[in-house]
Structure 1
Amino acid sequence: MKNFQTKLDVIGNNIANVNTFGFKKGRTTFNDLMSQTIAGATAPGANGGTNPKQVGLGSQIGTIDTVNTQGSLQTTGRPLDLGITGEGYFTVRDEATQSNYYTRAGNFYLDAKRNIVNGDGLKLQGATGGAITIPTTAQSLSIGQDGVVTYVNQQGTTTNAGRIQLRVFDNPEGLEKVGGNLFQSTGNSGAGTSVNVGTGGSGTLVSGALEMSNVDLSEEFTEMIVAQRGFQANTRIITTSDEILQELVNLKR
C-alpha cells in the first residue's frame, strides 16, 4: 500500500506539471522483496530434481525515474522564448551562491541591467562563461538556431552579443531536480560538458517557441487507475487477513 501511495504521488506530480515548461515526467518501478524459502531446490538423482518452494514477502520501490523524452514545442513568437530540439540543457548561474544550474525551460527575460535571465533572475550563460548582455541602444534582437545572439542598434548595424552554449551529460537521467524548473549535476549524471549549440548531440535552438512538459495525460490517468486498483486490492488483503484471524479467535468459543 505504501508503494502504491508513492506511485500515486509521482503521478499526481506529473499531472500537476502538465503545463510546466521543460518539465520531465517521473516514473515509478517496483521490485519484489526477498522470498521465504520453504524448501530448496534439489538436483536430479535417482528421481527427478525439484524446484524451490518460496513465498514472496511483498514489493518495494525499485526506482523513481526521470523520463527525458523530448517535449513538444509550442510557438509563442517571443524572441527570448527558446526551445531545444535535442539533449542539451541551458546553463543558468546563481551569482549569490556561485552555483550553476541546468534547465530545459527556455522562457528568458531581460533584467534592469539588460542581462538575459530566467524568471528567477538567474543569468543565462554564454560561450565565454558569463552572462549575455543586450545594450540599451538595441532596437531589436534575434537568436539563431546555432545560439548566436545578435541585435540591431539605432544605426541599423547588426552586432553579435554572444553565443548561448548548451550543457550535455553522459547520463541526463541522473540529474537531480531542485525545483524552479532547475536541475543540478550529481555523481551519477557526471559534471557535463558545455558545447556549442548543434554539436555533441546538444540539439538546436528554436527561437519563439517553448518546450512543453512531456507528460501524457491519458497515460497518467491510466496509470492512476492501475495504482488505485492495486491500492484497493492490497487493502482487501488486510481485510481478508483480519477476517481469518477473527475466525481463529472464534474457534475458542
Structure 2
Amino acid sequence: MMRSLYSGVAGLKTHQTRMDVIGNNIANVNTTAYKSQSMTFSDLMYQTTQAASGANPTTGVGGINARQIGLGAKTSAIKTAITTQGASQTTNDPFDIMITGDSFFIVNNGQNNYFTRDGSFYVDGAGNLAMTSTGYNVMGWKVDPNDASAIKQDTVSALRIMTTENMTYPPEATKSARISGIIDKNDTNVNAAAGKIMNLEFYDNQGYKYTAKLSVHSTTTDGTFTVQLDDILDSKGKTVLADKTKASLQQNNTNVTAPVLEFDLKNGSFKNVGTAGGTESTLTLHFDTGTFPSFTDITIDFSKCSNLNNNGSSTVSPIRGDAKGNGAGRKVGEMSGIEIQKDGMIYANYDNGCSRLLGQIAVATFANASGLAKEGDNLYSATQNSGDFDGIGKDITTGGGYMNTGVLEMSNVDLSSEFTEMITTQRGFQANSRIITVSDTLLEELTNLKR
C-alpha cells in the first residue's frame, strides 16, 4: 500500500482535531473567563530508505544525506492562552468580581480546592460566598480574633460573610460633643428669657436617641454668657428629666447652675471661667446613674465658639462627637450592603454609618499557569507541571493585581482569528483528502495493469 494514503489519513485526523479545538473556542465565545486554546502540528515519524553517509577523505567522494519519507502529521501541543486577560463585562452586581493579573480565585467543593477566573459569586443560604454556577465555596482568610481590623493570613477557609452577628452593628452611647459658631451679643434670642436654644442629639448605650435642650443667655457683663440645661427629651418628644437634679452641667466634676462663658471681644477667643473656677473650655453633661443607668456622661467642647458681630444672628449649634468624630455614639446598625475592595477585603456597611471587616478573598498563583488541568465548569486543578498550591494563598495586590467588583471577565476568544484558523483548517483538510483520492487513483491504475 502507498505511504501517502496513511499520510493523508494522519493529516485528516490532525486537522479534525484542530477543528475540534476551534469549535470549542467558538462555542465558548461568551463563557465567563474562558481561555482560548490553539493547536500546533508536528511531523510524524519518518521511514528511512537510505541512511546518511559521510565524506571519504581518501577517495574524495562526498557524503550522502539520508533518504527519509514522512508518514504525515500529528498533534504537537494544545496550548491555552491562560494568562491573556479577557475584556470586562459590566454587571453592576456587587458579588461579580473580575481579577486583573495572573491570579486565580480559590474555591472548594467540600473536599478539594479548585481554581477559577470566573468571579460570578453569590451568598448562599448558609451565608457563604459561593460560585453561582457550582455552589463551591469561595476561599479566603478570616478576621484576626485578636484584632477586628486585621486579617489573619492562615490556611484558607470558606468565607461566611452573612451571619447573625454580622447582620447588625452594636450601639454605643454618646461620650463627646462640640459646640461651634458665633454668639452675637445683639441677638434677640440670646437676650430673651428663653435664651438661644441648642438641641444636642445623643444616644444611650442601647441605641435610643435623646435630645438635650441647652440654652445660651446673655449677662449684664458685656462679652459674657451663660449656658444651661433646660430639658432632656426622648425620641417621641417626651421629657425624661422629671427631676431636674438627676442631670446637670458640670465643670471640674462640680455641679454648676450656670457656668459663665467668657469671650474676649478683641480676638474672639474663648475660655470658661464658671462659678466652679478653672479655664477649661469644656463642660460635662452629667447623668445620675441611678436614674439613667444606660446613659454616659458627655463632654461638651465650647472652644470653637466665638463672640463676634454677625448682624444680630447667633449661629452656635452642637454636633455629636469630638473634632475627629470620636465619641459620637450610634444607634443599632442594620446591614445595608457589602463592599469588596480591590485587595479582596470584604466589609459590611451599616445604616448607622459604621462598617465591619468580614474577611478577605485569597488568590492563588502558579509558576506555570498553563500547566493547570481543566476540570470543566470554568475550574482548574493543580498538576505537577503547574506547581503546587500551598493551602494559604496570597493577597492579590502583592503581585500587582487587583479585583474589580460589578464586572466579570469575558472570554478571550478572538472570533476573527478563529474564523481565519477555521478557513486554513478547512483547506488543509480538503488537501489531505485529495492525497487519499489521488493515491486511490494511482492504486486503481496499478490494478488495471493486468488488463
With the shorter chain as reference, the TM-score category is over 0.9
In the alignment of these two chains, the number of paired residues is 250
1:71 aligns with 2:270: no
State the shift of 1:31 in Å: 1.2
**In the TM superposition, what are the counterparts of 1:188-227 in structure 2 within 5 Å?**
188-193=385-390, 194-200=393-399, 203-227=401-425
DSSP 3-state at the match of 2:54: coil
1:89-119 deviation digits (Å, cap 9, x = unpaired): 0001111xx1111100111111112211101
DSSP 3-state at the match of 2:347: strand
Per the alignment, residue 232 of structure 2 pairs with none
The aligned amino acid for 2:359 is G
1:137-171 deviation digits (Å, cap 9, x = unpaired): 42111111111111112432111110111100111
Identity %: 47
Distance of 2:114 and 2:19 partners within structure 1: 28
Which residue of 145, 163, 173 maps to 2:360?
A: 163
Q: Deviation above 4 Å: which 4+ runs of structure 1? A: none
Q: Which runs of 5+ in 2 are unaligned?
A: 1-11, 143-155, 169-334
1:8-44 deviation digits (Å, cap 9, x = unpaired): 1111110010111111111111111111112222222
DSSP 3-state at the match of 2:14: helix
Distance of 2:49 and 2:376 partners within structure 1: 47
The aligned amino acid for 1:127 is W
Distance of 1:26 and 1:172 partners within structure 2: 14
State the shift of 1:121 in Å: 1.0
| 147-156 or 116-125, larger mean C-alpha shift | 147-156
Distance of 1:70 and 1:52 partners within structure 2: 47
The aligned amino acid for 1:249 is T
Distance of 1:191 and 1:209 partners within structure 2: 29
The aligned amino acid for 2:74 is Q
Per the alignment, residue 87 of structure 1 pairs with 102
State the shift of 1:63 in Å: 1.1
Which residue of 139, 160, 176 maps to 2:373?
A: 176
The aligned amino acid for 1:111 is D
State the shift of 1:2 in Å: 1.0
The aligned amino acid for 1:108 is F
1:55-110 deviation digits (Å, cap 9, x = unpaired): 11111111112111111122222211111110100001111xx1111100111111
The TM-score normalised by the length of structure 1 is 0.95
CA contact (8 A) 1:127 1:196 kept: no
CA contact (8 A) 1:141 1:150 kept: yes
CA contact (8 A) 1:126 1:162 kept: yes
Per the alignment, residue 18 of structure 1 pairs with 29
Distance of 1:40 and 1:70 partners within structure 2: 49
The aligned amino acid for 1:77 is N
Which residue of 69, 84, 97 maps to 1:55?
A: 69
| 63-72 or 4-13, larger mean C-alpha shift | 63-72
State the shift of 1:48 in Å: 2.2
Per the alignment, residue 237 of structure 1 pairs with 435
Distance of 1:18 and 1:161 partners within structure 2: 35
State the shift of 1:47 in Å: 2.2
The aligned amino acid for 2:340 is I
Per the alignment, residue 27 of structure 1 pairs with 38
Distance of 1:72 and 1:55 partners within structure 2: 46
| 72-81 or 1-10, larger mean C-alpha shift | 72-81
Larger Rg: 2
1:159-216 deviation digits (Å, cap 9, x = unpaired): 1110111100111111111111111111111113411111146x21111111111100
CA contact (8 A) 1:168 1:200 kept: no
The TM-score normalised by the length of structure 2 is 0.54
1:130 aligns with 2:157: yes
